[in-house]
Structure 1
Amino acid sequence: MTTDLRVLTPDDWDRWYKAFEHAFGGVTETAQERALWRDLTEFGRSLGVWDEDECVATAGAFRFGLTVPGGARVDAAGITMVSVAPTYRRRGLLSAMMRRQLDDVRAWGEPLAILTASEPPIYGRFGYGAATQELAAEIDTARVRIAPPRRAVDADGVPRGGTGEGGAGAGRIRLRQVGATDPAVRAACEEIYAAVVPERPGMIARTPGWERLPVVNGERERDGMSPVQCVLVERDGEVAGFTLYRVKPEWDRSGPKGTVELRELYARDAEAYGELWRFLFGIDLTSTVRARNRPVDDPFQHLVSDVRRCGLQVRDALYVRLVEVGAALEARTYRTPVDVVLEVEDAFCPWNEGRWRLTGDAKGAACVRTADQADLALSVRELAAAYLGGVSLTSLAGAGRVTELRPGALAEASTAFSSDVAPWLPHGF
């Protein structure tokens, strides 16, 4: 077999993307979806494997800024559209693309690579660790109530406003239905999104073009759903939060039993956040709110009257790869002071192998090569899993994935690596 691994060009995109679609079941996306992904494709960072004129494998890498513990935005390659044609499996094409990608990411000076895995077993051998989880919910709103948000107060304890009834007026909260695709509305929503990105590890800054993703209506996903709708929560004429959602009308002999599918919900404060959830629970002719991807510590769980009837499920989400161990560990801060020597195993990126001394606290960190005796031994995969603070080193040690070589080092490092809020990837790529 003679194949050619090369950088993607605009002229080859249609055949490249068709090969990707074919590898994922052969369902052709809508013209709207294809146009979005073509516009977002970064050609110089995308690869294709060709057998003469046939594209038989694909991979891409978006340029992202990823929030890490401490709030810094770190350059990360968002690995995407990875596929191998069914007739070309077991020939080393995936390994060849992973090798080329990680070499490129290192050359680009990006200390992290991130991805979402269609099948979790695939990427561990390339050093990716499952670093975040996502929460899914299917809430029976016919039987579950949501508490009204507490009214915010100023520094003197005087209520700031917020009637809880959507009333208009100075200092009051009101809800407003708007066009989800309207450019001015999208700009207001993106401003809210950008404001919350630094607050949670795992979130990615959306560059121009990505604001279209939440409102694309793919036929494969709709399944009888309405187009994406948008409601803003406003206070004193300023946007304080928004939600994007779709509705699937359904009826049986007993009456309406529609479903609200939540796509996005962001707010500047708890009051606006609670009002948006109350709105979703109260949409006419519906009895279910379904959310596919929320943070595992999402506060709505503390507002509902019966969490058992919320159908909660947790699954893996973002996978992280430390391309440059030293730079990656220096880029984040640490919850408590830490001074630990890590013995890192990394066969796929051998430049990371060896001992690294990590010193840091909530203000900053340094990570340098050292010949000192190791305190903890682990592979780069476990280090990546713990990197965003959502997976504890202690838990990994309990699974035999981390070895404590100095008594006390595990507890010290595990606490330091932890995050105050659960890391979360808000959407795929």
Structure 2
Amino acid sequence: MLRSEDWDQWYDVLLRAFGGTAEPAEERELWRRLTPCERSVGAWDGGEPVGTAGAFDFRLTVPGGASVPAAGVTMVGVSATHRRRGLLTAMMRRQLDDIRAWGEPLAVLTASEPVIYGRFGYAAATFGLHAEIDTGRVRLSVPAGTDDVRLRYVDPRAALDRCEAVYARTVAARPGMLARRPGWERLGVVEAETERDGASPTQCVLAERDGQVTGFARFRVRPQYTDAGHNGQVELQDLAGLDPVSEAALWRFLFGIDLTTSLKVRARPMDEAWQYQVSDIRRCGLRVRDQLYVRLVDVGAALQARTYQAPVDVVLEVEDPFCPWNAGRWRLSGDPKGAVCERTADAADLVLSVRELGAAYLGGVSLAALGAGGRVREVREGALAAAAVGFGSAVAPWLPHGF
């Protein structure tokens, strides 16, 4: 366990592992306050730290809307002088044993290098949409009622509580979202001038209906000018709305900011409505990137914690060499109202590893697609198609921010 008095040394090892760039004092102090020392471990060579790993105490929304305890694996690094000595494996071993002892059925992380974490049972379960939209040519068609939404500029820091209240009301609606503890909201306003690279400080706009705050957008503007005129860029940092018209009003605002001709968007939900409101999707420069990696620490508890969009009754034979307590056969019976997952001696219908279960867990990766890729083996004919439908989600899972 990490001692609080060792945090600075421990954190410096992490920063060096990720390139050694110093952070602004405010950001460093925020991470100090957010770090759960009692849930963090380190590797030490004599009196010097050479490895780091932590686990935030999150609650993760799963299909059906339940908020499930999940360890947010974070701050993982090994000094370049101590690579290939088994330190990472030892920390991952200790960490997953701890998470199991804490009674948390899930571990999640964002991977700097995906190949590293696959061998510990993690798999990409959510994806984010990136875009660079030509707002000089692309128009937005918004739903009726959008004009009833009032927008106004506010100071980003002064509006933190109002923005966080909106965020909190959206968490249960989408798998993959994190219920945040106090302090996390400050990540949205901590910034360094070097990170802006010529862009404006963070700006914030609130959406209001009937006197109530129903959405917000935080963004920067990067002024640019050529002989042909202004062609500045809007860089979206965060946007949330409680209803479709509030979201549409915020997107329309971003499309129309004076002296700008493009809107840069990063890591948005794969099914976000603006994609179906634009006049020309080809001029939106869409790209997809992996986001949240999921690892089932307790297969039975994890599969029982979510619901299934169609009835499922399937025996899963699970392979899990790193956490052998998960290995074996599990009967999963579930529907939109709930689920039961228990050990069984019955014959397997599907054979897969814990990685495939992690990929499919939030409903954003199809078990059928994994089967087509040779990652899931069907034993009973028809079992894969039925399970794939049940595991799906009507709403694409999404991770709202990194950690």
**Structure 1 segment 186-335 matched on structure 2, within 5 A:** 186-335=160-309
| Structure 1 length-normalised TM | 0.93
Q: CA contact under 8 A between 1:247 and 1:258: conserved in structure 2?
A: yes
**Structure 1 segment 128-143 matched on structure 2, within 5 A:** 128-143=122-137
Aligned-pair CA distance for 1:229: 1.0
CA root-mean-square deviation: 0.9
Q: Residue 356 of structure 2 corresponds to which residue in structure 1?
A: 382
Aligned-pair CA distance for 1:258: 1.2
SS of the aligned residue for 1:126 comes to coil
**Structure 1 segment 363-402 matched on structure 2, within 5 A:** 363-402=337-376
CA distance in 1, matches of 2:150, 2:210: 9
| Structure 2 length-normalised TM | 0.99
How many equivalent pairs are there? 403
SS of the aligned residue for 1:211 comes to helix
Deviates more, 1:42-51 or 1:347-356: 42-51
Q: Give 1:23's match in structure 2, choosing from 4, 17, 21.
A: 17
Q: CA-to-partner distance for each residue in 1:248-270, whole Å, 9 max, x for gaps?
A: 11112222111111111111111
Q: Give 2:149's match in structure 1, choosing from 164, 173, 197.
A: 173
Q: CA contact under 8 A between 2:70 and 2:106: conserved in structure 1?
A: yes
1:53 matched to 2:32? The reply is no
Which stretches of structure 1, 4 residues or longer, exceed 4 Å deviation after superposition?
none
Q: Give 2:71's match in structure 1, choosing from 54, 71, 77.
A: 77
Q: CA contact under 8 A between 2:65 and 2:172: conserved in structure 1?
A: yes
Identity of aligned residues (%): 65
Aligned-pair CA distance for 1:218: 3.3
Question: Which residue type is aligned with residue 271 of structure 1?
Answer: V
Q: CA contact under 8 A between 2:134 and 2:262: conserved in structure 1?
A: yes
CA distance in 2, matches of 1:36, 1:352: 36
Aligned-pair CA distance for 1:219: 4.2
Aligned-pair CA distance for 1:279: 0.5
Q: Residue 157 of structure 1 corresponds to which residue in structure 2?
A: none
1:115 matched to 2:109? The reply is yes
Q: Residue 100 of structure 1 corresponds to which residue in structure 2?
A: 94
Structure 1 unaligned spans of 5+: 1-6, 152-161, 165-171
SS of the aligned residue for 1:217 comes to coil
Question: Which residue type is aligned with residue 326 of structure 2?
Answer: N
Q: CA-to-partner distance for each residue in 1:201-259, whole Å, 9 max, x for gaps?
A: 00001110001011111345312121211101111211111111111111122221111
CA distance in 2, matches of 1:385, 1:66: 15
Q: CA-to-partner distance for each residue in 1:96-152, whole Å, 9 max, x for gaps?
A: 00000000000000000000000111100000011010000100111111113312x
Q: Residue 156 of structure 1 corresponds to which residue in structure 2?
A: none
CA distance in 1, matches of 2:198, 2:66: 41
Q: CA contact under 8 A between 1:30 and 1:219: conserved in structure 2?
A: no
Q: Residue 11 of structure 1 corresponds to which residue in structure 2?
A: 5
Residue 195 to residue 237, structure 1, CA distance change in 2 (3 Å): same
SS of the aligned residue for 2:59 comes to strand
CA distance in 2, matches of 1:148, 1:291: 18
Q: CA contact under 8 A between 1:393 and 1:410: conserved in structure 2?
A: yes
SS of the aligned residue for 1:66 comes to strand
SS of the aligned residue for 2:179 comes to coil
Question: Which residue type is aligned with residue 179 of structure 1?
Answer: D
